[in-house]
Structures are given as C-alpha cells and as structure tokens.
C-alpha cells in the first residue's frame, strides 16, 4: 500500500455513516460520503438515482472483466421510533462499552463500511486481474423498487455485470460467524374483503353477515399445511395478521369485513401458485355463504436458493479462517435485496450479529466490524487468487 494511503478504518467509516440521518428515503449524505471515498481510491462511481431514491454504483477495474466480484448493501435505515427511549443519540455514533451505538450501526452501515474498506485496501495493495463492483442502495428498508432493482436495471443497460455477489446484511443470530444465507423464503401478502348485506341483528333474514364467512376462511387458510419443508427450507407458513370490521354497534350486522394474511414460502411454491390457491379458497367460501369477495395480492419476492458450491465455500472458508466458526448455511429470516441480485448472478449473504437491528439502542461490537472487514478482505483475496 502506498505510504500516503493508510488502511481504511471500518469503525471510523461506520461512525461517519451512522451520523448521516439516512432514514428511508432520505440519502442523508451517506452515499455522497462513500462516493467521495471510493472515487479517491480509483473507483469509477455513478449515481443511479431513480424515483427519488439515491443509489451508488462503484467499479474498480475494467468494465466487462471476465472475473468481477460484487458487494451489495444499503445505507438507508428504519426510523428511530421514540427518540426519548434511546440511551444514546440515534445518529451520534457514540462508542461505549466496546460498542458503536446508533441507528443503522448493525443494519447495515457497518457492513457497507466493512466491504468498502476491504475493497479499497485490496485494490491499493494487490490490484486484481478483474473488477470489484459495489452496488449500494438507499431503498432497502422502503418499497425497494427503486433501489437495488434500479441498480441492476442500469447495470444491464450499461453492460456492467457481477460474476458473483456477497450481500452484507446481518446474518448471524448469536455469535460472529455462526450463519450465512444461501437463499431466502418468498414473501407475499393478501388483502381480502368479504361483502354481504348490512342489517339489524334482530332480523337476520334481512341481512347477510360476512363475518361467519371470514371466520371460516381464516380458519381454512391458517389451518392448511402448505408443505413439510424442502431440502434447504423450513415449512412454509401463513399468518392471519389482522381482521378488521370497524363495527362499534351491537345491533348492526356489518356489510363488509377485511382480513390480511402474510405467507412466507419455500421453493415448493411460487407467488402465482399461492395466489391461485388463495383465490380458490376465497371462491369456495363465497359460494358456501353467498357473500362476494375481493382480493389484492402483493408478492415481495420469490423464494430462491444458491445451491452450496464455489461461492458459499469461498465465503464459508473466509469466515472460518477469521472467526474459527464454520457458518451454518441457512435460508431463514425475512427478505433482503439478494432476492433481486439472484436474477443477475450467484449470491450469498454474510454479515454481523443482528440481535439489535431495528431496535431502540441499536449497536454493534467494535471488534465485529473489524472482523467483518477482515472476512471480506479474505474473500477478495481468495476469489482473485
């Protein structure tokens, strides 16, 4: 490394990013900070903003290189909630008790800082035969339609491509190095409305109550076994998350009632197959009770799996070397932007212990940030070896 180019401190960079109040969809200065840092290190940087969302693409090396390793992450964060409940300034990046405190410290400004620092140090010391790409969004915690999706759309248009990608989301449940993600369950929600005829509760024959029909539908959906799990996934689940009628009266049969369900599904299903199943259950209940039904579905992402192989082996080996732990290959948890990247190239996820993400007093161990940079640096070294 040149004498005037000291290694990038991932802890200091995390602190700088935490001090950027980048609550979705605000950029907050986080991507400007990274763009300046990466540009100074020789990365070609492009802002890929879309729909009011800020995104950053950075490449070191030639476009179209035969071997290109990518990192993906986000700098946007969820709201702080009740600021008075925090024992530290949510955007102060206070260091206390060996931890860095603040919104986004875990999810996932530390991850972005770690891979940016590892990438900069790597190209300065051992310029690889190939390219390193960073795709960083400000829209992972929001609707996620103008974030990583926008970056991938732009990359396809511009001929930019990753051969493999590592997403830096928090993946470890308990200890650093105990888990990595090789896939994610699909996620979808359905909003169902049943409509009958309003009337007086003393004159049932003049009304058509949609509530018994909704109770039947809720029971049929929630008691149905979608599957028993697959080789790499736990069983799919359906949760009834709310039933709303809004009827304060005790002597009025309501005209309509609404229910929302959320499904987390494995690779035995698709969003389309589950939508067809929901519709058939809805139609059956409507026919039985004589009510009418409407349904709106939003599929947040299909399930996907990167089968165990070269990419998971590469990351697992680096994690084991730096932590002494061999990470479990998991598909658990919610959704991440890996669900978009998987259509572009093989993708896995590895990051910090996520116990405090999205919580009041979110914080991260200083030692874990440094360890994460070392893991990412070893991944790059081994990939380009």
Both 296 and 247 in one domain: the answer is yes
pLDDT 10s digits, 72-103 = 999 999 999 999 999 999 999 999 999 999 99
Flag whether 220 is in a domain: yes
Q: What share of the chain is helix, strand, coil (3-state, %, to 5)?
A: 35, 25, 40
- The mean per-residue pLDDT over the stretch 259-278 comes to 97
Residue (of 184, 185, 190) closest to 276 by Cα position? 190
pLDDT given for residue 3 in this prediction: 44
Q: Is 140 a catalytic residue?
A: yes
Percentage, residues of the chain above pLDDT 90: 97
Cα within 13 Å of Cα(218), Cβ side: 20
Q: Which residues have a Cβ under 8 Å from the Cβ of 94 and sit 6 or more positions away?
A: 88, 100, 101, 102
Flag whether 5 is in a domain: no
The single residue of 76, 94, 267, 349 carrying the catalytic annotation is 76
pLDDT 10s digits, 61-71 = 999 999 999 99
Both 343 and 215 in one domain: the answer is no
Both 101 and 225 in one domain: the answer is no
Flag whether 2 is in a domain: no
Both 91 and 116 in one domain: the answer is yes
CATH number at residue 295: 3.30.70.360
CB of 112 closer than 8 Å to CB of 17: yes
Q: How far is CA 359 from CA 23, 82, 90, in A?
A: 14, 10, 11
Q: Is 244 a catalytic residue?
A: no
* Residue 117: both structure tokens together: 């620092």
Flag whether 26 is in a domain: yes
pLDDT given for residue 5 in this prediction: 77
Could you say which of 242, 273, 301 is where a domain stops? 301
Could you say which of 301, 336, 359 is where a domain stops? 301
Beta bridge partners of 187: 264, 301
CATH number at residue 170: 3.40.630.10
pLDDT given for residue 4 in this prediction: 55
pLDDT given for residue 312 in this prediction: 98
Both 291 and 309 in one domain: the answer is no
pLDDT 10s digits, 340-374 = 999 999 999 999 999 999 999 999 999 999 999 99
The single residue of 107, 140, 141, 322 carrying the catalytic annotation is 140
Flag whether 293 is in a domain: yes
Both 168 and 316 in one domain: the answer is yes
Both 259 and 215 in one domain: the answer is yes
Using 50, 70 and 90 to split pLDDT, how confident is the model at 306?
very high
Using 50, 70 and 90 to split pLDDT, how confident is the model at 379?
very high
- The mean per-residue pLDDT over the stretch 33-42 comes to 98
Both 351 and 245 in one domain: the answer is no
Residue 250, helix vs strand vs coil: coil
Instruction: Indicate whether 255 pLDDT > 80.
Output: yes
| Burial track 46-84 (b if 16+ CB lie within 10 A, e otherwise) | bebbbeebbbbbbbbbeeebeebbbbbbbbbbbebeeee
Rama region for 324: left / alpha / beta (φ>0; ψ in -120 to 50; rest): left
Instruction: Indicate whether 1 pLDDT > 60.
Output: no
CB of 79 closer than 8 Å to CB of 23: yes
Beta bridge partners of 262: 189, 239
Cα within 13 Å of Cα(238), Cβ side: 23
Both 373 and 330 in one domain: the answer is yes
Query: In terms of DSSP H, where are the helices of 41-147?
Result: 110-125
Both 178 and 192 in one domain: the answer is no
pLDDT 10s digits, 206-221 = 999 999 999 999 999 9
Q: Which residues have a Cβ under 8 Å from the Cβ of 324 and sit 6 or more positions away?
A: 177
Task: Say if pTM beats, i.e. exceeds, 0.85.
Answer: yes
Both 150 and 95 in one domain: the answer is yes
Flag whether 223 is in a domain: yes
Flag whether 280 is in a domain: yes
Backbone angles phi, psi at 164, to 5 degrees: -155, 155
Range of the domain at 286: 186-301
Flag whether 323 is in a domain: yes
Could you say which of 301, 318, 336 is where a domain stops? 301
Q: Calculate ∠ Cα 43-48-52, nearest 5°.
A: 140
What is the count of structural domains for the chain?
Answer: 2
Both 32 and 147 in one domain: the answer is yes
């Amino acid at each position: 490394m040149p004498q005037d180019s000291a290694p990038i401190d991932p802890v200091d960079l995390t602190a700088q990013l935490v001090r950027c109040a980048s609550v979705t969809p605000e950029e907050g200065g986080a991507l400007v900070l990274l763009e300046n840092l990466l540009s100074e290190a020789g990365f070609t940087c492009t802002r890929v903003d879309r729909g009011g969302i800020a995104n950053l693409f950075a490449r070191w090396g030639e476009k179209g290189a035969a071997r290109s390793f990518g990192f993906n992450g986000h700098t946007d964060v969820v709201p702080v909630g009740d600021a008075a409940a925090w024992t530290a300034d949510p955007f102060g990046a206070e260091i206390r008790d060996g931890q860095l405190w603040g919104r986004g410290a875990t999810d996932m400004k530390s991850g972005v800082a770690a891979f940016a620092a590892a990438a900069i140090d790597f190209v300065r010391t051992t310029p690889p035969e190939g390219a390193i790409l960073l795709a960083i969004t400000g829209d992972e915690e929001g609707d996620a339609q103008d974030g990583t999706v926008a970056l991938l759309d732009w990359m396809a248009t511009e001929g930019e491509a990753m051969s493999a990608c590592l997403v830096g989301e928090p993946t470890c449940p308990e200890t650093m190095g105990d888990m990595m993600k090789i896939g994610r369950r699909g996620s979808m929600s359905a909003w169902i409305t049943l409509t009958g005829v309003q009337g007086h509760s003393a004159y049932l024959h003049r009304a058509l109550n949609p509530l018994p029909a909704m109770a039947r539908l809720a029971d049929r959906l929630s008691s149905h076994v979608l599957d028993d799990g697959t080789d790499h996934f736990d069983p799919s689940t359906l949760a009834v998350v709310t039933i709303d009628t809004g009827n304060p009266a005790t002597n009025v049969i309501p005209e309509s009632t609404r229910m929302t369900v959320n499904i987390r599904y494995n690779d035995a299903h698709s969003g389309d197959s589950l939508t067809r199943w929901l519709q058939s259950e809805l139609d059956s209940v409507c026919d039985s009770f004589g009510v009418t039904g409407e349904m709106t579905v939003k599929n947040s992402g299909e399930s996907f799996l990167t089968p165990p192989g070269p990419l998971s082996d590469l990351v697992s080996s680096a994690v084991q070397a730096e932590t002494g732990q061999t990470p479990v290959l998991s598909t658990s948890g919610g959704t991440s932007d890996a669900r978009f990247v998987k259509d572009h190239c093989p993708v896995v996820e590895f990051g910090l212990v996520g116990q405090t993400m999205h919580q009041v007093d979110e914080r991260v161990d200083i030692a874990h940030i440094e360890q994460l940079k070392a893991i990412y640096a070893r991944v790059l070294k081994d990939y380009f070896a």
